[in-house]
Structure formats: C-alpha cells, structure tokens
C-alpha cells in the first residue's frame, strides 16, 4: 500500500515536472488533432506508407519537427500548410497529445472485408475504374476485372472515348497507361516527382498529371504516349479540372497558395486564385455553368469559390481528413469524401445544405455515375466500394475490392 502511494506520488510529481517543462494540454491537443487524422490516423498511426506514425513518439522530438516545418528548416509543403495556423502553445499541445498515445498499430488496411454484393449493370451503366493503392491494380467495373499496374496506383482517369485508362504511381514517378478493353499496359511514362491527380483534356488528346513533388504539371500526348510539356505551377499541385471547352485547367495547389489557372493553348499558368478559409486545396470540381469551383481541402472543408470574383462564398465543414469531391453531372449535388471518417457529405447545390451519409471506413475516392443516379465511394480502410443511391441517399451495395481502393474514374463524368 505504502509502496503504491509512493509510486503514485512519484508519478504525479513526474507528470507535474513534465507539464511545467512543456506547459502542454493533452486535451487541447486531442481537439486540435482532428485536423491531422486524415493522414496520421485518429490514433496517431499513419493511414498509409507516406504518413509517419506519431503515436508514442517523444514529445520534444514532435515539437521540434512541428517548429521546423513552420520555419522551413524541414521542408514539406503539406506539413508547412498544416502548421501555418499553429502557435507555439498549439504545437506543444499536439506534441503532448500524440506522445501520450499508444504505439500499438492496428492493421486496418488489411482488414478482411464483409461485403458480399456483386457489381451489376444496373448501378454501373457506364464503365467505372477504381485504382487500388496497396494491391497495385486498377479494377474495371461492372466486370470487376483487376489489371496489374505499378507500385501504389493512386489517382486514375479514363479518356472520353473510353479507350484508355491512366493511373499515377507516385513512388515510381510514372503514370501507367492501360488499354481499357483488356487492361494491357500500353506505356509507363516517366513524369515529374510524386505525381498525384491525372486528368484528360475534353478532346481526349492530352493528359495533365499534377506532380506534387516537383511543383509542376506534366502534359502527356495520348497519341505518342510521351511527355510533351511541363508547366510550372507552384507548391504542391494535386489535381486538375478542365473547363468543358478545354481552354482552361484549374489545378489545386495543396501547398496552400490556392487554385492555379492554366491556359491549355500556351501551356502557361495565367494566375493563382487564393482560397482563404481552408487548409491546403486538395481536389476540386466545377458547377455546370463553370462559374463556381467546389474545393475540398485536406482537413475537413469544402470552399465554394466564385471563379469570377475570386470570393469564397461559403466554407462548408465536412468529414475529417482529405478526400475527393464531385459535382454530379446533372448539377444537383456535390459529393465530398473524408478519409479520416466513415461518412460522405452530399451538398445540395441550390441551398448548400449538407446531408451526411454513413458509408464505411476511410472514404476517399468519390464519383457520381454519368446519369447522377449513383454515387461510387472507395472505402480505403474497408477495401470496399460503396454504391449510394442518390435519390434515397442510402447505401445500395458494398462490393469487396482489392486493397486500399483510392480513386474512381467514371466515363462521362470527368
């Protein structure tokens, strides 16, 4: 008993010592950590290879890293944007919180799937292609055939004629180009550093690949399957969206600056539109009249950006972490995913009201079918694709797929 009291008081005084040294507040840190869960996991265990574990790490080390990201002594555009709004006390609290967590890892991404549903023509009226980061494959729906790709197939896109599918491999700095009829690899094209999003011009002639690591966009000619140009854009380009006439490309700059506007004729950046109120523009889509951009950041926001005035009309809170965003082809709704959560948010384009729908764990890729009736969602943690009925706003099906389904390309919904 005595020994216990002694041990207890020792622990208390040590804890007091620690807290006077750092004056940190673990509870505050926990609250702040909601913004970090999308990458570092809700338990401090990184959601994928590129995101380090923070749980159980030494507090002083964590604090030092956060300060280094802020000062630029340690260079990483993503983390720089994440700490931009934090003062020393905030960083202290976060360091204390993560340090207090257990290091025990949970093998979430390899969890056995429970889904038993099969894809059918009904929910897949057009071809749909899902990239599987950890299986290094792309799966074609509704047939559900897996094509062998390269290391961590991340983003993907399908050409407007439906003949080719492209998928980026950030760890090998390449984009894989597949024949959509049989999944044959037509080419593996070297692009810039850490390529993320890939998008095809509306005329089907070129693909634009956003190279997050080299701050540029590679332009690939889809006839010769070779890079024909590289456009400098600014820190952390992540994904693009073309206007329907193909004249402009809007590129999210996750480094924080905003949206880069590219002229596709001169292949030059015209300007950058700032997006205040959000942290790190991640993915985006346009309204049917192309006057409004819906910008998903990598924390938990969607900014409604008026492209003419450059004003943010509204910032909508969605689930934690980064994720995809898609304006339905009929312009009725905007669907946003959240990799650190278990729901998607569906925004009504008329009044910007939001409905959250529970879909399963780690939703990232999200795309409506061409007829806007279905919303496809890739569940990175459950290894499933959920199909949501957009009229009833309920999950219609869950289909088991490969590991870490990341992005979804739908023919007819660029």
Enumerate binding residues for ligand HEC (CB under 6 A): 35-36, 38-40, 50-52, 54, 62, 65-66, 76, 78-79, 82, 94, 298, 322
Query: Could you tell me the smallest distance in angstroms from the CB atom of residue 195 to ligand HEC?
Result: 15
Nearer to ligand HEC, 99 or 174 (CB): 99
Query: Could you tell me the smallest distance in angstroms from the CB atom of residue 38 to ligand HEC?
Result: 5
Distance separating alpha carbons of residues 286 and 263, to the nearest angstrom: 17
State the residue for tokens 């600056």. 257
List, in order, residues 6 or more apart from 59 with CB less than 8 Å away. 18, 22, 24, 95, 96, 99
Nearer to ligand HEC, 46 or 246 (CB): 46
Query: Could you tell me the smallest distance in angstroms from the CB atom of residue 25 to ligand HEC?
Result: 14
Query: Could you tell me the smallest distance in angstroms from the CB atom of residue 341 to ligand HEC?
Result: 13
State the residue for tokens 């897949």. 124
Cα dihedral sign, 238-242-246-248: negative
Query: Could you tell me the smallest distance in angstroms from the CB atom of residue 322 to ligand HEC?
Result: 5
Distance separating alpha carbons of residues 33 and 40, to the nearest angstrom: 9
Nearer to ligand HEC, 50 or 161 (CB): 50
Give me the phi and psi of 344, to 5 degrees please: -110, 160
Structure tokens given for 369: 């079918």
Query: Could you tell me the smallest distance in angstroms from the CB atom of residue 51 to ligand HEC?
Result: 5
Cis peptide, bond prior to residue 40, ω within 30 of zero: no
Query: Could you tell me the smallest distance in angstroms from the CB atom of residue 393 to ligand HEC?
Result: 28
State the residue for tokens 């008993």. 1
**What is the Cα 341 distance to its own chain's centre?**
13
Please, are residues 313 and 268 in contact by the beta-carbon 8 Å criterion?
no
CA distances from 33 to 15, 68, 218, 384, 387 (A): 22, 18, 34, 27, 30
Nearer to ligand HEC, 318 or 401 (CB): 318
Task: Quote the Cα angle for 286-307-335, to 5°.
Answer: 30
Cα dihedral sign, 338-344-345-348: positive
Structure tokens given for 1: 């008993």
Nearer to ligand HEC, 68 or 186 (CB): 68
Query: Could you tell me the smallest distance in angstroms from the CB atom of residue 196 to ligand HEC?
Result: 11
């Amino acid at each position: 008993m005595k020994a216990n009291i002694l041990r207890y008081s020792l622990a208390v005084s040590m804890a007091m010592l620690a807290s006077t040294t750092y004056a940190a507040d673990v509870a505050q840190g926990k609250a702040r950590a909601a913004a970090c869960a999308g990458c570092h996991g809700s338990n401090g265990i990184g959601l994928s290879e590129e995101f380090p574990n923070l749980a159980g790490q030494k507090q002083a080390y964590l604090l030092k890293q956060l300060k280094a990201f802020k000062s630029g002594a340690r260079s990483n555009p993503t983390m720089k944007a994440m700490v931009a709004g934090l003062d020393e006390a905030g960083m202290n609290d976060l360091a204390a919180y993560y340090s207090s967590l257990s290091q025990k890892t949970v093998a979430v991404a390899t969890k056995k799937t429970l889904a038993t549903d099969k894809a059918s023509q009904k929910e897949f009226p057009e071809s749909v292609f899902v990239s599987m980061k950890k299986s290094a494959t792309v799966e074609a729906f509704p047939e559900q055939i897996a094509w062998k790709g390269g290391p961590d197939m991340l983003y993907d896109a399908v050409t407007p004629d439906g003949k080719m599918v492209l998928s980026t491999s950030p760890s090998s700095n390449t984009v894989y180009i597949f024949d959509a009829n049989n999944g044959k690899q037509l080419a593996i094209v070297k692009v810039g550093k850490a390529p993320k999003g890939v998008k095809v011009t509306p005329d089907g002639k070129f693909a634009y690949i956003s190279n997050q690591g080299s701050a540029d966009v590679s332009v690939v000619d889809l006839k010769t399957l070779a890079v024909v140009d590289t456009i400098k854009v600014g820190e952390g380009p992540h994904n693009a969206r073309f206007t329907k006439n193909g004249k402009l490309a809007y590129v999210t700059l996750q480094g924080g600056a905003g949206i880069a506007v590219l002229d596709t004729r001169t292949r030059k950046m015209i300007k950058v539109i700032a997006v205040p109120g959000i942290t790190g523009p991640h993915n985006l889509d346009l309204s049917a009249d192309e006057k409004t951009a819906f910008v998903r950041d990598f924390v938990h926001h969607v900014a409604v950006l008026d492209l003419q005035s450059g004003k943010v009309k509204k910032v909508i809170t969605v689930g934690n972490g980064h994720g995809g965003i898609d304006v339905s082809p009929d312009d009725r709704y905007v669907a946003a995913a959240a990799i650190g959560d278990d729901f998607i948010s569906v925004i009504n384009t008329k009044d910007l009201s939001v409905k959250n729908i529970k879909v399963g764990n780690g939703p990232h890729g999200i795309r409506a079918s061409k007829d806007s009736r279905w919303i496809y969602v890739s569940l990175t943690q459950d290894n499933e694709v959920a199909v949501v009925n957009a009229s009833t706003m309920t999950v219609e099906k869950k289909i088991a797929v490969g590991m870490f389904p990341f992005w979804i390309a739908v023919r007819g919904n660029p």
